[in-house]
Amino acid sequence: MDIFSQIAPLRAFLEQKKLIGKSVGFVPTMGALHDGHLTLIRESHRENEITVCSIYVNPTQFNNADDLASYPRTIVRDIEMLESVGCNVLFCPSNEEVYPEKSIIMFDFGTLEQIMEGKFRPGHFSGVATVVSKLFNIVQPSRAYFGQKDFQQFKIVECLVRELKFNVQLRCVPIQREKDGLAMSSRNMRLDEEQRKNAIVFYESLQMAKGRLEEGLSMSFVREEIKKHCESKPGVKLEYLELTDTLNFVQRESVTSKAILLIAGYVGGVRLIDNLLLNEN
Ligand code: AMP
């Protein structure tokens, strides 16, 4: 695997590859890799001749300094994992390389970010859009791979690509889960044994909510029930549970057509998210 920390040599390397007709797949990450990330790499590998992964903990998407400081960083292990799945290129730039001056650009995604992650993490998606734009301009991939785990992020990136005419095809890869159903996440590394057991409550809640909606109960009722269920576990706090359509995140009271349940909450000091697509066909 070729490893770059600077933009210019990465660009020169990729330009050479593109000149001889190689397609480039791109997987942006914040590192502390797990099998969810590796699934994106495998998917890229399947569709492209060259796969580029970036590892960069982007400060502008964190609205909480403690969360940024405690975000896990495991670069040595990450490199081994990327090599094990045949990733071709790793880009791991410094903050100075990505933000040589303080960023003053602000993105506003309107209704797409007025609920859920956008509401509870003000400025988060502006930071995501800024770094994704920079990375797309640096790598200029044919295809880019994102996880359904961050579904709202995927929709934001889709909007960014559509509006700014980035010449890239986006792929949304299904959520990879641990055996008990917990969505894989870099943040799971921060859970102690007890918290790890309780963290399953969010996936459990999605399944419970789906069942209750199928029984014909309203989302307002289900939300209250799930809140009580979550908060019956020590250290667990529900931040939101929403039922929305999958196009514009319009909130729903019942499942009429294609919809998604999205959940976020804390186990101790660790913030986790998960979601479940409903009526996929
Ligand atoms: P992150 O490093 O958390 O920023 O994630 C990098 C990419 O991996 C994002 O597109 C995530 O949606 C995706 N991802 C994270 N966790 C999972 C998972 N459990 N399954 C599939 N994709 C994931």
pLDDT digits (tens, 9 = 90+) for 10-37: 999 999 999 999 999 999 999 999 999 9
Among 84, 75, 77, residue whose Cα is nearest residue 1: 84
Give the contacts of 119 (CB within 8 A, at least 6 positions apart).
Answer: 113, 240
The answer on pLDDT for 252 being more than 70 is yes
- The continuous run of DSSP H or E covering 16 comes out as helix 7-19
Angstrom distance (rounded) from CA 70 to CA 187: 9
Give the model confidence (pLDDT) of 75-129 as tens digits.
999 999 999 999 999 999 999 999 999 999 999 999 999 999 999 999 999 999 9
Length of the chain: 281
For the chain, the farthest-separated pair of C-alpha atoms sits apart, in whole angstroms, at 59
Residue 256 pLDDT level (bands cut at 50, 70, 90):
confident
Write the residue with the smallest CA distance to atom 18 of ligand 1.
36
Task: Choose, from 37, 45, 124, 229, the residue flagged as catalytic.
Answer: 37
Instruction: Enumerate residues 6+ apart whose C-beta is below 8 A from 10.
Output: 4, 89, 91, 138, 139
Summarize pLDDT for 137-185 with one digit per residue, the tens. Answer: 999 999 999 999 999 999 999 999 999 999 999 999 999 999 999 999 9
Q: How far is CA 244 from the centre of its chain?
A: 18
Question: Of ligand 1's atoms, which has the minimum distance to the CA of residue 28?
Answer: 6
In the sheet with 236-245, reading across from the earlier edge strand, the strands are 236-245, 259-267, 270-278
DSSP state of 201: H
For residues 170 and 44, what is the distance between their CA atoms, to the nearest angstrom? 11
Nearest atom, ligand 1, residue 184 CA = 19
Distance 19 CA to ligand 1 centre (A): 30
For the cut 80, the answer to whether the pLDDT of residue 281 exceeds it is no
Q: How far does residue 221's CA lie from ligand 1's centre (Å)? A: 31
Instruction: Work out whether the CA dihedral 275, 157, 272, 190 comes out positive or negative.
Output: positive
Q: At residue 257, does pLDDT exceed 90?
A: no
Question: Contact at 8 Å (CB) between 112 and 155?
Answer: yes
Residue 16 CA to ligand 1 center (angstroms) comes to: 29
115 vs 205: CA distance, rounded Å: 19
Which residues make Cβ contacts (< 8 Å) with residue 175, sequence separation at least 6? Answer: 36, 147, 148, 149, 183, 184, 274, 275
Give the whole-number percent of the chain exceeding pLDDT 70.
99
Ligand 1 near 61 CB (within 6 A): no
Burial class of residue 129, CB neighbours in 10 A (0-12, 13-18, 19+): buried
Neighbouring-strand partners of residue 192: none
**Token digits of residue 28:** 């942006």
Helical (H) or strand (E) element with 212: helix 201-214
User: Is the Cβ atom of 147 under 6 angstroms away from ligand 1?
Assistant: yes
Helix (H) or strand (E) run with residue 82 in it: helix 75-84
Is 34 a known active-site residue? no
pLDDT at position 171: 98
Rounded to 5 degrees, φ, ψ at 208 are -60, -45
| pLDDT beyond 90 at 260 | yes
pLDDT band for position 273 (50/70/90)?
A: very high
Residue 185 Cα to ligand 1 midpoint, Å, equals 7
Digit-coded pLDDT (tens) for 47-60: 999 999 999 999 99
